[in-house]
Amino acid sequence: MRQRLIRFGFLLITFLAAGAMHAQSGSQLRFCLHSEPKTLNPVLMADESSETVRYLTGGVLMRLNRLTQTLEPELATSWKESAGGKTITFKLRAGLHFSDGTVFSAEDVAYTIQQLMDPALHSPTGDSFRSAEGKVITRVEGRDRVTVTFPAPVVGLDKLFDQVAIMSATSPQKELAVLGPYYVAENKAGSYLLLKRNPNYWKHDASGAQLPNIDSIRLDIQQNRDIEMVRLARGEISFINSLDPEYFDKLATQAPGTVHDAGVSLDSEQLWFNQVPTSPLPAYKKAWFTSTNFRRAISNAINRDDLARVVFRGHAQPAVSWVSPANKVWFNAKLQPHPYDQKAALRFLANDGFRMQNGVLHDRDGHIVEFSVITNAGNKYRERMATMIQQDLAGIGIRLNVVTLDFPSLIERITRTFDYEASLLGLVNNDLDPNSQMNVWLSSAENHQWNPSEKTPATAWEAEIDNLMRAQAATLDPKKRKKAVDRVQEIVWEQEPFIYLVNKNALSAVSKSLHNAHPVVLHPQVYWNVDQLSLGSEVAQSR
């Protein structure tokens, strides 16, 4: 009897210990989406909320490690590019199952690629793979090998698969059967999404316990950032991604230790002048805006350090060029931000015949130098930057009028009527590969904002950028690509078609009860390692 009791006690202790080590039964991670996901179909996702759901539920062939910025194998144990970047062959992990129990095979990869490239579906993710007209051929070789051949080389092909969630070709649940750590269990439109732990998720931790650690994730749809802050303070949610600098500082004083500044991000804020030849601007203003000396002068007259320190409360860095220093591979480290130097600015202006009269700058024909900058109403950071630039430019005798417009009116002016002089906007960038910005830098591109859709390059330097961007897109040699992209950064730094102002920092707030969170600069910042996150007491976190 005594032996039986001892044996029972031993079993009980073992069971409790195993339970504590394993997934925390009933644990739920909560955070907010700022809008409702537009779709749950992974090939059709384009909005941020949908992409969040895809990241949490989708199984991918390889995943970009957000911390090291390198690719790591996931559903594919290995891959090989061939035929100059046209073909990629995957060797798949064996014995995996979708969340509904359907067996995973090479057929599913072929089916996903077929869906992705189906012209009728207009998949935004698929667009990244479209390098040329033609059919994409997938060849299945057994259960664990598949080869995909594109009509033309695709630059950065392997990294693009980070966004491709594999769907089941045979599951009755269709796209709701997933290979990622969670599956969508409940979707209350406009209110919340409930994701539950995928019982067939293939990953295990070092001790052999199945991941993910947390049982479920509740995504509350909440647009209001103030309410999101209050909910974090109450412990109702576990983290806030992409935190505002003001909120960041507020939380830093209220709850020190919960906020994380991961450093400079890929996002930039920039100012540009309208250089469209057909714009309704007077000829003398077109002459100012197309002059490199004028743009360089404006750039030198802006105090970027003050913008970063005052507007973004120190949570930003003066920007250098179009590649952020956060992009470890592609940033041209030889370049430095343009310094704040009003004397240099006046020298650049003097080269073009500008002169100062009674504290007011005039051009060589006697016109007073005055122009307007438009930005979107309601974005207080941009409005503040514009106001600071207004004072900076007043220092070299330039009168700047700040105009805030509702977003549709602003887009109308910068893309259709071209009835504006300068614009201050930002770029949110989630892609490390410079190829993703071809639609900005090619002179024929629609997003070539200072002079869109040029039939032929308007300037020699734009022609050089065209050649370099095409050259980097046509080769798979990383050194040649880096050299070309470095040179484009230099040209942009010299010519300043975009006057880059600041790169914002990646700010987030994480509850002390969320363990293993290591916020990074790349999206999705806090939950990039969602399968390794765990919930516990605040004391445990403060270790």
Partner 1 sequence: MRWVRIIAIAFLVVVSMSCLLANFVAPAPYAYQFRELPDASPSRQHLLGTDSLGRDRFSRLLYGTRVSLLLAPAAALFASILAALIGGSAGFVGGWLERCVMAATDLFLSLPWLFLLITVRALLPLNIAPFTSVLVTFALLGSLGWAAAARVICADARSFSRSDFILLARASGSGGFRLLWRHVVPNFKPVLFAQFWIAVPVFILAEANLGVLGLGVAEPLPSWGSLLRELESFSSMSGQPWQFFPLILLIAVISCIHLALRKQEPSL
Residue numbers 352-371 binding partner 1 by CB under 8 A: 370-371
d(CA 304, CA 453): 30
Q: Phi then psi for 502, rounded to 5 degrees?
A: -145, 155
Helix and strand counts by DSSP (H, E) for the chain:
17, 21
Collapse the DSSP code of 88 into the 3-class scheme (helix H, G, I; strand E, B; otherwise coil) and give the result. Answer: strand
**174-to-40, 97, 102, 332 alpha-carbon distances in Å:** 11, 14, 10, 45
386 contacts partner 1 (rule: CB under 8 A): yes
Least distance between partner 1 and beta carbon 322 (Å): 26
d(CA 63, CA 163): 8
Cβ proximity to partner 1, 305 vs 352, nearer residue: 305
Is the link from the previous residue into 524 a cis peptide, with omega within 30 of 0?
yes
Least distance between partner 1 and beta carbon 340 (Å): 12
383 contacts partner 1 (rule: CB under 8 A): yes
390 contacts partner 1 (rule: CB under 8 A): yes
d(CA 292, CA 301): 14
d(CA 522, CA 24): 28
Question: Which of 239, 272, 348, 420 is the binder for partner 1 (CB under 8 A)?
Answer: 420
Q: Phi then psi for 434, rounded to 5 degrees?
A: -65, -20
Residue 339 DSSP symbol? P
Whether 37 and 220 have beta carbons less than 8 Å apart is answered as: no
Question: What is the b/e burial string over 19-29, where b = at least 16 CB atoms within 10 angstroms of the residue's CB?
Answer: eeeebeeebeb
Q: Which stretch binds partner 1 (CB under 8 A): 98-106, 197-205, 372-380, 445-453?
A: 372-380
Least distance between partner 1 and beta carbon 69 (Å): 33
377 contacts partner 1 (rule: CB under 8 A): yes
Cβ proximity to partner 1, 108 vs 244, nearer residue: 244
Q: Which stretch binds partner 1 (CB under 8 A): 29-37, 70-78, 98-106, 309-317?
A: 309-317
Least distance between partner 1 and beta carbon 234 (Å): 13
247 contacts partner 1 (rule: CB under 8 A): yes
Whether 290 and 454 have beta carbons less than 8 Å apart is answered as: no
Q: Which stretch binds partner 1 (CB under 8 A): 183-191, 394-402, 448-456, 486-494?
A: 394-402
Question: Which of 16, 230, 368, 411 is the binder for partner 1 (CB under 8 A)?
Answer: 230
Cβ proximity to partner 1, 231 vs 481, nearer residue: 231
Whether 353 and 363 have beta carbons less than 8 Å apart is answered as: yes
236 contacts partner 1 (rule: CB under 8 A): no
402 contacts partner 1 (rule: CB under 8 A): yes
Is the sign of the CA dihedral 435, 432, 121, 408 positive or negative? negative
239 contacts partner 1 (rule: CB under 8 A): no
Bridge partners for 60 per DSSP:
165
Is the sign of the CA dihedral 164, 170, 175, 181 positive or negative? negative
**CB count, 10 Å around CB of 254?**
12
Cβ proximity to partner 1, 236 vs 306, nearer residue: 306
Cβ proximity to partner 1, 148 vs 281, nearer residue: 281
484 Cα distance to chain centroid: 22
Q: Which stretch binds partner 1 (CB under 8 A): 191-199, 326-334, 405-413, 529-537?
A: 405-413
Q: Which stretch binds partner 1 (CB under 8 A): 3-11, 192-200, 378-386, 530-538?
A: 378-386
Q: Which stretch binds partner 1 (CB under 8 A): 36-44, 307-315, 445-453, 479-487?
A: 307-315
Question: Which of 14, 170, 391, 537 is the binder for partner 1 (CB under 8 A)?
Answer: 391
Q: Which stretch binds partner 1 (CB under 8 A): 27-35, 202-210, 222-230, 454-462?
A: 222-230
Question: Which of 344, 360, 405, 463 is the binder for partner 1 (CB under 8 A)?
Answer: 405
Q: Angle at the Cα of 128 (from 123 to 131), degrees rounded to 5?
A: 115
390's enclosing H/E stretch is helix 380-394
Residues with Cβ within 8 Å of residue 187, at least 6 apart in sequence = 40, 193, 194
Q: Where are the beta strands (DSSP E) in 394-484?
A: 399-405, 422-427
403 contacts partner 1 (rule: CB under 8 A): yes
Least distance between partner 1 and beta carbon 28 (Å): 25
378 contacts partner 1 (rule: CB under 8 A): yes
> How many chain residues bind partner 1 (CB under 8 A)?
37
**421-to-343, 375, 402 alpha-carbon distances in Å:** 24, 11, 11
Q: Which amino acid is at 9?
A: G
234's enclosing H/E stretch is helix 225-234
Question: Which of 70, 191, 409, 453 is the binder for partner 1 (CB under 8 A)?
Answer: 409
Least distance between partner 1 and beta carbon 229 (Å): 5
Question: Which of 177, 229, 243, 530 is the binder for partner 1 (CB under 8 A)?
Answer: 229
269 contacts partner 1 (rule: CB under 8 A): no
380 contacts partner 1 (rule: CB under 8 A): yes
Q: Which stretch binds partner 1 (CB under 8 A): 192-200, 244-252, 289-297, 470-478?
A: 244-252
Whether 234 and 400 have beta carbons less than 8 Å apart is answered as: no
Residues near partner 1, by CB under 8 A: 225-226, 229-230, 246-247, 250, 306, 309-311, 370-372, 374, 377-380, 383-384, 386-388, 390-391, 399, 401-406, 409, 419-421
